Structure 1
């Protein structure tokens, strides 16, 4: 069927002018906004939902991993300040020695909202990024849609923390190829109440605290594999259960399907399929495991869990060899310690490689050539698919967001391009605020 084109012209009000605009309020984005504002930049944060936290809160992706490795802190500064503050509110459990952090999603939303607003960041919630205007490859303004209509926001520097490189794609940044490999599958997390969280099985499964171990629940997994054909169990991974710090409630990561989250029709199909699978899986757990006999679905993630979409072609692409060998770049601005974790859509297999030493992230992987005022942080980082399979997790994204926020504020202050920033000065400043570089 041919597609008809309708040309729409309208006047769009410019509702704000900032030093730094961050697009996306997930783990990378809200940390980037805080970092930028604390460095003195007038900062705005655009978020499509009415709350912050991204995959943690909209996706219920629990726990946050990995903050410490080999008994040393890997991600520090503002991200760790957030964790400590969330813990003080009763919303976080720091698992030792690995430094994974289980959390309560509603308190997570409240904590990051408070920290963002306390720094003076202007929040544009319920606002969907729909376009941008570029002049000579520099983004001059972004277009958002909300209940006020279509609006524009100007800035000196923009940070793409959308998770899917949406702004970078709109600005014409080239993307890395798929290396002949499929996208990692989508998963919809859900929460179950009425679980016997005092049972030995669940007590052991819901705490992710051992370095070098895949924390999936092996007894449940083995029984599900035996029953798969008989009960018509959908494709699944894990399963991984995680505490929410509330008695009787765990989050569940086990659904999976293939899908491209930057294709609207395909993502819609996948989310509908996954929502059906959530209730199938919940019923199977309830009917076949004593620990779940009184369980019920208390929440289904607002947004399907996305492991992989676009990755920018940055000035430097982090390779698997560099990552596994923990190559220390001269412009390193953050670290990564999660295992290289590659899921498949069909079958229950998982390719997982644990790191010997925490890896490094170079600043050059956050920027592209010829795009003078745009940084990315989080999933869109410039890395091959193997290195990316570790860096995509939330603690790593927070570390990158912190670096991007400080860098953006510096570029605005000193009127320089993101390519011409003094990375020695950037690294020194990051160390001062507690980052591990």
Structure 2
């Protein structure tokens, strides 16, 4: 077989004019043939509807990659891309519905934001009066507790998951259920046949591979697969996105001394409003919160940390008898787009710089932290905000704030909203139903999206981005994918009655 070589234009101006000409000619021929190009519709001053094609760069150096065979690594009924709370829930739900399931993740463990970021509170909002979701999310939490992998969260009945131990919990869930695991595998493209997804291309130590699947569930958090498949999505402008977080964990903390300090200096959710204009319902203001903020101002005044340090302050959670303080959610970086590799590189490195400043401030100011030292950083940044698909139904602020009900409900989530300077704690028993339509990209068949990138506006995103909400959409997507295979229909046409019946069988609260 004749070898093909990569062709790179090394001319002085670095432009491949022939390639650019061919691209323009192909688009022109398509228009003559009646092929509609991607639309770009502004939805709000802060967001746009986009597709992958909207962002293709026409200028600059390019490399033309020649066609080459890609080995098929595996075939399955349902492929779940991303092994976080939504991905684990989707894979387990699809497997329990009878599908052959592959769960893949780009890291060396499952658990997503829990294990790779170190965000240990899957549901920290359970103050008195909360009517919580039911299903695999609660099941995972209870299993972790039964295996000795949780510590009580301060001030209410929520649990803190031990982030490292949850890797073991996730492995147990995957292996005992018969899910086929695939780690260290990074999805880089979608395999499409007209408007239907057929699988994905991945990169791994074994090279470039393909996985073919009857259904694909995008649980990447950033809607990566939907993006590769050409689905429409929205993205808030970078300067208005919620910040990313570098989670830090400390050792050498005197637990009793620190707890005594927090009891003598109690913080509430009203304190969250000290540095920004926060919207609440009022009932949150006097609830106790594990929060540190003024301590960092004091550290600046003392000269313990540089004056120019910004966005230090936030919550603490688990304290172990061994002197470990984990999930210190204290370092926040703004103006970061995590779908931009340059942005996220800078943020990862800057987050570690600010994390060391945060520890230095705690050592200087907070009793119990005098001898504290860095135990570890999270494996990656905690991201709150990136792409969100345009769905068959797009959740709204009114719906998540006013107990919306949907005929295609796949579960419920309490009236808990956290983000964009809004904080609503679900202490009144209010909750809303989550519609199947927010998982469905209308222009791509047999692809479902679960997790924080489901369809909705900015305020609804502040509810759906939370980990327990991600388990609700994950379980709904997993069941819908498997049921659609049984019915011999695509994911657009699956019977919602059959999906709901299976979800109820799996213990999900539908209404």
Deviation at 1:370, TM superposition (A): 2.5
Go from structure 1 to structure 2 and tell me whether the alpha carbon gap of 1:81 and 1:236 turns closer, same or farther (over 3 Å shift): same
| Counterpart pick for 1:137 among 195, 205, 212 | 195
Deviation at 1:424, TM superposition (A): 2.0
More deviation, 190-199/38-47: 190-199
Deviation at 1:95, TM superposition (A): 5.0
More deviation, 82-91/312-321: 82-91
Pairing 1:376–2:449 present:
yes
C-alpha distance in structure 2 between counterparts of 1:325 and 1:238, whole Å: 31
Report SS of the residue matched to 1:159.
Answer: strand
More deviation, 271-280/413-422: 413-422
Spell out, residue by residue over 1:197-244, the C-alpha distance to the aligned partner (whole angstroms, 9 max, x if none). Answer: 2233467699999x93676545x4123234446542522254211116
C-alpha distance in structure 1 between counterparts of 2:238 and 2:179, whole Å: 41
**Alignment match, 2:366:** 289
Deviation at 1:56, TM superposition (A): 0.5
How many residues are treated as equivalent by the alignment? 429
**Alignment match, 1:109:** 167
**Alignment match, 1:31:** 89
Go from structure 1 to structure 2 and tell me whether the alpha carbon gap of 1:14 and 1:23 turns closer, same or farther (over 3 Å shift): same
C-alpha distance in structure 1 between counterparts of 2:206 and 2:261, whole Å: 47
TM-score for both structures, normalised by structure 2: 0.79
**Alignment match, 1:353:** 424
C-alpha distance in structure 1 between counterparts of 2:268 and 2:110, whole Å: 24
Spell out, residue by residue over 1:324-376, the C-alpha distance to the aligned partner (whole angstroms, 9 max, x if none). Answer: 00111111112223632225xxxxxx442335512221110000113110001
**Alignment match, 1:256:** 332
Go from structure 1 to structure 2 and tell me whether the alpha carbon gap of 1:44 and 1:358 turns closer, same or farther (over 3 Å shift): same
Spell out, residue by residue over 1:162-184, the C-alpha distance to the aligned partner (whole angstroms, 9 max, x if none). Answer: 00000000000001253897111
Contact 1:195/1:292, CA 8 A, preserved across alignment: yes
Go from structure 1 to structure 2 and tell me whether the alpha carbon gap of 1:43 and 1:333 turns closer, same or farther (over 3 Å shift): same
Deviation at 1:100, TM superposition (A): 2.8
Deviation at 1:430, TM superposition (A): 1.0
Deviation at 1:394, TM superposition (A): 0.8
Spell out, residue by residue over 1:255-279, the C-alpha distance to the aligned partner (whole angstroms, 9 max, x if none). Answer: 1112010000111011111011111
C-alpha distance in structure 1 between counterparts of 2:266 and 2:229, whole Å: 42
Contact 1:311/1:382, CA 8 A, preserved across alignment: yes
C-alpha distance in structure 2 between counterparts of 1:95 and 1:208, whole Å: 15
Go from structure 1 to structure 2 and tell me whether the alpha carbon gap of 1:95 and 1:300 turns closer, same or farther (over 3 Å shift): closer
C-alpha distance in structure 2 between counterparts of 1:206 and 1:52, whole Å: 36
**Alignment match, 1:347:** none
**Alignment match, 2:387:** 310
Return 5+ residue gaps in structure 1 as ranges: 344-349
C-alpha distance in structure 2 between counterparts of 1:384 and 1:113, whole Å: 34
C-alpha distance in structure 1 between counterparts of 2:167 and 2:214, whole Å: 28
Contact 1:63/1:102, CA 8 A, preserved across alignment: yes
C-alpha distance in structure 2 between counterparts of 1:67 and 1:42, whole Å: 35
C-alpha distance in structure 2 between counterparts of 1:266 and 1:304, whole Å: 12
Contact 1:129/1:145, CA 8 A, preserved across alignment: yes
Go from structure 1 to structure 2 and tell me whether the alpha carbon gap of 1:97 and 1:427 turns closer, same or farther (over 3 Å shift): farther
**Alignment match, 2:462:** 389
C-alpha distance in structure 2 between counterparts of 1:248 and 1:147, whole Å: 38
Highest CA radius of gyration, 1 or 2? 2
Go from structure 1 to structure 2 and tell me whether the alpha carbon gap of 1:67 and 1:16 turns closer, same or farther (over 3 Å shift): farther
Pairing 1:277–2:335 present:
no
